[in-house]
Amino acid sequence: MKLSLHLAWRFLRDGRAQSLLILAGVAIGVAAFVFVASIISSLQRDLIARTLGAQAQVTVTPREASSRALLEAPGALVARRVEPPVPRRRSFDGWPRYARALERTPGVSAVCPRVSGPALAGRGASEEAVVVVGADPARLRRIIDLAPRLVGGRYAAGGDRALVGDGLAEALGLRVGAPFRVSTDRGAVTLRVVGIFDTGAAALDDAWVVTSLRTAQTITGRAGDVTELDARVEDLYAAESIARSFAARTGLEATSWMQRSRDLLIALRAQDQSSYMIQLFVMLAVAMGIASVLVVSVVQRRGQIGILRAIGTSRRTVLAVFLWQGVILGAVGAVLGIALGVAFAIGLGQVTPFPIEPEPSGLAIAASVSLATGLVAALLPARRAATMDPAAAIRGDA
């Protein structure tokens, strides 16, 4: 191995101009790979943060009572009218147990029991329809993080303290510290604004009143109860399958963002695919570049390879010499290309509306892909070199 690595290095050094040229090619290819991956993943991170930052990735609720057809048989034509069930107040029996089960489910990284209910918020003569959201503030942060989006006040909830969106604050003329009225058919309470958030999602900013679980339970008349369990998952795209299997296991209803935000899902998938295609074609071009340079090198070095074989260099060593050349080109190209790609991506990030941050995992993938590409590209030339007939190579004929 030491010998083949040394010879590989010598061959690359000997064909300096060619080696540098192909190295530049590999570096540019890897840079394009890293650049595309960084932009797409940053774009997606931004898109996801803006769209999914305001909703739970997986939501678990008690099963909805649904109307069923009376007769269901293949080919049977049944006239029916589906009557939606009358909305009624369902309680989420045994939710603490389900919350623990959901927390232990592989792939789930955080769970937050939450109570939500409609109410009217008012101050003086103005009134707005709102959604009272109650949850443990620390748990809620791991699902929907309002803390970094505060434009005033601080992140706290409980007692009579509540967080409101900037839309609602404006509509009611609320400032931090201001009291306001929250009423339902069961009565009214007075809360105090402790913080104002701006998430960019109108559904939250114009309507949410976030308090502690206890306060919201009191307002909505659900003592000890919750309306849903929200969860965050480790792999965004595993949300649907986690939701499905949890629903099947517990008989509860579980939905994922993938169901709720189909358009976003399709957009993300299309971006992923175009990014993979670009990366695939770039690396194919790199592989062909390396392969053609090495094939030429094998042909040019026929005589040298013949001599090496004649004086006892094994086929395996000759094979390794050319595989190493591919690996070295892939490795050095990866280092240069990653540096170049990251520099480009960060440079572009200065002028994009969203930050571009290359992911370490993406860089690791780029490095492995580059190494593998170098190795695979070297296979054919290496085989040609190793199977060369030394007598013919020394004679210098085909």
Based on CB atoms, which residue is closest to another protein, 149 or 309? 309
186 token code pair:
């069961």
Based on CB atoms, which residue is closest to another protein, 222 or 302? 302
Residue 156's beta-bridge partner residues? none
Least distance in angstroms from the C-beta of 326 to another protein: 17
Least distance in angstroms from the C-beta of 313 to another protein: 5
Least distance in angstroms from the C-beta of 397 to another protein: 11
Neighbours of 369 (CB within 10 A): 20
Q: CA end-to-end span of the chain, whole Å?
A: 29
Least distance in angstroms from the C-beta of 374 to another protein: 19
Based on CB atoms, which residue is closest to another protein, 14 or 103? 14
Based on CB atoms, which residue is closest to another protein, 99 or 386? 386
Based on CB atoms, which residue is closest to another protein, 247 or 307? 307
Based on CB atoms, which residue is closest to another protein, 53 or 390? 390
Based on CB atoms, which residue is closest to another protein, 269 or 316? 316
Least distance in angstroms from the C-beta of 321 to another protein: 10
Least distance in angstroms from the C-beta of 380 to another protein: 20
- Give the separation between CA 395 and CA 378, rounded to whole angstroms: 25
Binding region for another protein (CB under 8 A): 1-3, 6-7, 10-11, 13-14, 301, 303-304, 306-315, 317, 389-391, 394-396
Least distance in angstroms from the C-beta of 379 to another protein: 20
What is the CA 139 to chain-centroid distance, rounded?
21
